[in-house]
Amino acid sequence: MTILRRSGSRSLVGGNARWIVALVIALISIVTYCSSTAYNPITGEDQHVSLTVDQEIALGLQSAPEMAAQFGGLHPDQGAQALVDQVGGQLVNATAAKDTEYQFEFNALADDQTINAFALPGGPIFITAALMSRLETEGQLAGVLAHEIGHVVARHSAEHIAKAQLTQGLTGAAVIAAADPDNPNSAQRTAAIAAVVGQMINMKYGRDDEIESDRLGVRFMAEAGYDPRSMIRVMEVLAEASEGGRQPEFFSTHPNPERRIEQIQAAIQEEFPDGVPEGLIQ
């Protein structure tokens, strides 16, 4: 009986210690996340970010060659690259993006099978040959690039890294708190549940990011002389591309086009309550 009581005491003490450690880890993660705040003059919001602008730029420059290689390298058609440079440069130079420290670089990729466009932290922006071949006008290309510029200036990558660090810290705390030394499988089950919760949180923020980038894209397009309604046609083109059965890779990083059309229309109405001006490039 004495042995059993001692064992129970050790288990109780161990359990309390695990909870204390878990609580400390959780508090540190939350305090670190909440204290890492920066004001974004383009979005007008305070953001939780864990990287400086210089760190974002360095990360993007370091990652760009590898990302290009994953999509077959750069587009062999110099004309395609020149068009991307011209439209991207016009969008940056005519908008608040030019006043940032970000080093924008627009890249046409050789991949003619994967329909996608994406931005890296700090400024590198990519669009595949497959997506470019689906676009019908210069304005539609501007819509894609303006959206990706929005991701960069809104610092969405830096926000996601900060959120991932928070999620990682809270997940670790949950695993420690719920670990049962008499059941080796308990930590694995708890980690799996916590990871799913973390993914759900990050997915929600991802959808919010896309809406914000669409709104910024509408603004940037108009400021650069492009008709923002061309972005609606981009969504329709992407929806048409999915009718063959194979979903474009674009859908893995962006919400369903049908859902975004309403948001883009609302952004256009907000930007131009009296109607879109005449003469913009479509």
Q: Return the axis-axis angle of helices 138-153 and 230-241, rounded to nearest 10°.
A: 100
**Nearest C-alpha neighbor of 151 from the set 249, 43, 78, 276:** 43
Mean pLDDT of 66-76: 95
Amino acid identity for residue 228 in this structure: P
pLDDT at 2: 45
Give the highest mean pLDDT range of 2-11, 15-24, 240-249. Answer: 15-24
pLDDT at 227: 97
Q: Is the pTM for the entire model greater than 0.75?
A: yes
Q: Considering only residues 101 and 202, tell me which one the structure prediction assigns the higher pLDDT.
A: 101
Residue with tokens 């979005």: 43
Give me the DSSP letters along 146-204: HHHHHHHHTTHHHHHHHHHHHHHHHHHHHHHHH-BTTBTTHHHHHHHHHHHHHHHHHHH
Mean pLDDT of 92-106: 97
pLDDT at 25: 65
Mean pLDDT of 81-100: 97
pLDDT at 205: 45
Q: What is the pLDDT of residues 14-37, one digit of tens each?
A: 567 766 766 766 676 666 666 668
Q: Where are the domains of the chain?
A: 11-271
Mean pLDDT of 90-107: 97
Q: Name, in order, each residue with C-beta under 8 angstroms of 93's C-beta and a sequence gap of 6 or more.
A: 224
